[in-house]
Amino acid sequence: MRILMLSHYYAPEVNAPASRTSEHSRAWARAGHRVTVVTCAPNHPRGKIYPGYRNWLFQREVIDGVEVVRLWTLLNANEGFLLRTLSYLSFLVAATAAAPFLPRPDVIVSTSPQFFCGLAGRVLRAVKRCPWVLEIRDLWPESIVSVGAMRKGLAIRFLEALEASAYRRADGVVVVADSFVEHVAERRRRREAIHVIKNGVDLDLFQPGDGAEIRARFDLGDRIVAAYVGTHGMAHGLDTLLDAAALLRDDPRIGFLLVGDGAERARLVERAREMRLDNVRIVGQLPKRDMPAVWSATDVSLILLRRTETFTKVLPSKMFEAMAMARPIALGVEGEAAALLAEAGAGLAVEPENAPALAAAVRRLAEDAALRARLGAAGAEHVRRHYDRAALALRYIDVLESAVAARRGADGARAAVLAPRC
């Protein structure tokens, strides 16, 4: 099968959409499918091109058997709503202009967010005349209203209309959480061809090992390390982490590590400095290859989101990496994520944006090595059984093949109706 995948982010970028798309694409290519990914020059999150790349109109490379087409886009840091929106729109324009030069696929997949990347699939569907599967990793624009980036108004209503239209026009919709199904079905006006393919983890890459180098690099010593690994954005409520660290500042056994980047990172660094949090290390983004070592240096994984109704529907992708690395989780997310944690028996759930509750959970895990080991082992077993990215990628292929078969069946029926009769 020939698969054309549209994603604003792709390896060597290390954020969640880049990881999901690159790991699926690599697995599809290994299974014998011809995969082309259309994306940007790697620049997340600072808007600066990675070494060895340029922001050209059209360039090709091959990564792990996947043909990667990189298009020119407007680059900017992952902060500032207007500039980011212009960047996302530039990808839609670039993908539309590049459409005649892209290979003819059997199926198109576009992933959203970013929203306009998702919509680009609809445009290419018309040009290439093949089925289009829309992947929804976050409920956009609902999520930007939830974090206060935009207020409900005419612009949001327009975006919601585009969202609903995309759901209806797609030949299939893939969502990453069970909670998304009702949202999509209501706007799609039907339930068929909505599929749940949750996030997972590359079990070949994420293997527990020695975290000594990371501990030495960031002066963590022999402390119990409570680590947040991921985007430092408006949605994540990381002030709660700093407030919890302040409550534990007099406990020399415990240290906090923040790995990643995002719109809130500079402010968090300044706030930690003002609070004189000597027990906190905010180290920025690290390469994907360092992630197993980071997790190996971690004793407790911190996974946080702000307390909103929208975030009760999400499953943070970093949960699966933490479980794969047998790290117990202190989870400040309600809803489906908390239900998954309880099912796996992989950690302690606390109320979102509740610093005393988070501090108490970290202290409890720091004081009980047997509890940490038990929760970590349970999470590792659960993720091996249910969230192996390679197995999920093959399930995804079944979804794509069903979309292709349905389209061919519909085309055949239409041809029969239009055929001349004697």
Amino acid at 243: D
Same domain? 380 vs 367: yes
Same domain? 225 vs 352: yes
Does 364 map to a domain?
A: yes
pLDDT for position 415? 54
> What Å distances lie between residue 217 and 211, 281, 289, CA to CA?
10, 11, 15
Same domain? 109 vs 233: no
Does 245 map to a domain?
A: yes
Same domain? 292 vs 146: no
Q: Which of 216, 214, 134 is nearest to 168 (CA)?
A: 134
Same domain? 228 vs 372: yes
Which residues neighbour 237 within 8 Å (Cβ) at sequence distance 6 or greater?
304, 305, 306, 307, 332, 352, 353
What are the tokens at 101?
């030069």
Does 205 map to a domain?
A: no
Does 149 map to a domain?
A: yes
Same domain? 412 vs 372: no
DSSP letters of 375-413?
HHHHHHHHHHHH-BHHHHHHHHHHHHHHHHHHHHHHHHH
For residue 396, give the CATH number of its domain.
3.40.50.2000
DSSP letters of 5-60?
EE-S--TT--SHHHHHHHHHHHHHHHTT-EEEEEEEPS-TTTT-PPTT----SEEE
Does 52 map to a domain?
A: yes
Q: Which of 389, 391, 373, 256 is nearest to 326 (CA)?
A: 373
What are the tokens at 202?
């590359």
Same domain? 123 vs 236: no
Residue owning tokens 């974090």 = 147
pLDDT for position 145? 74
Does 94 map to a domain?
A: yes
d(CA 256, CA 251): 12
> What Å distances lie between residue 194 and 17, 91, 132, CA to CA?
20, 26, 13
State how far Cα 142 lies from the chain centre: 16
pLDDT for position 382? 98
Same domain? 153 vs 231: no
Amino acid at 156: I
pLDDT by 10s per residue, the chain, length 422: 999 999 999 999 989 899 999 999 999 999 999 999 999 999 988 889 999 999 999 999 999 999 999 999 998 876 666 777 888 899 999 999 999 999 999 999 999 988 899 999 999 999 999 999 999 998 887 777 776 667 778 888 888 899 999 999 999 999 999 999 999 999 999 999 999 999 999 999 898 888 999 999 999 999 999 999 999 988 899 999 999 999 999 999 999 999 999 889 999 999 999 999 999 999 999 988 899 999 999 999 999 999 999 899 999 999 999 999 999 999 999 999 999 999 999 999 999 999 999 999 999 999 999 999 999 999 999 999 999 999 999 999 999 999 999 988 766 655 555 555 54
Helix axes 81-98, 115-128, angle to 10 degrees: 10
Q: Which of 306, 296, 298 is nearest to 241 (CA)?
A: 306
Same domain? 38 vs 140: yes
Instruction: Give residue 307's domain range.
Output: 212-386
Same domain? 146 vs 267: no
Q: DSSP alpha helices (H): ranges in 261-368?
A: 265-274, 291-296, 318-324, 336-344, 355-367
pLDDT for position 194? 97
Same domain? 261 vs 289: yes
Does 207 map to a domain?
A: no
Amino acid at 311: F
Does 399 map to a domain?
A: yes
Same domain? 140 vs 273: no
pLDDT for position 422? 45
Residue 227 burial (10 A CB sphere; 0-12, 13-18, 19+): buried
d(CA 396, CA 172): 11
Instruction: Indicate the number of domains in the chain.
Output: 2
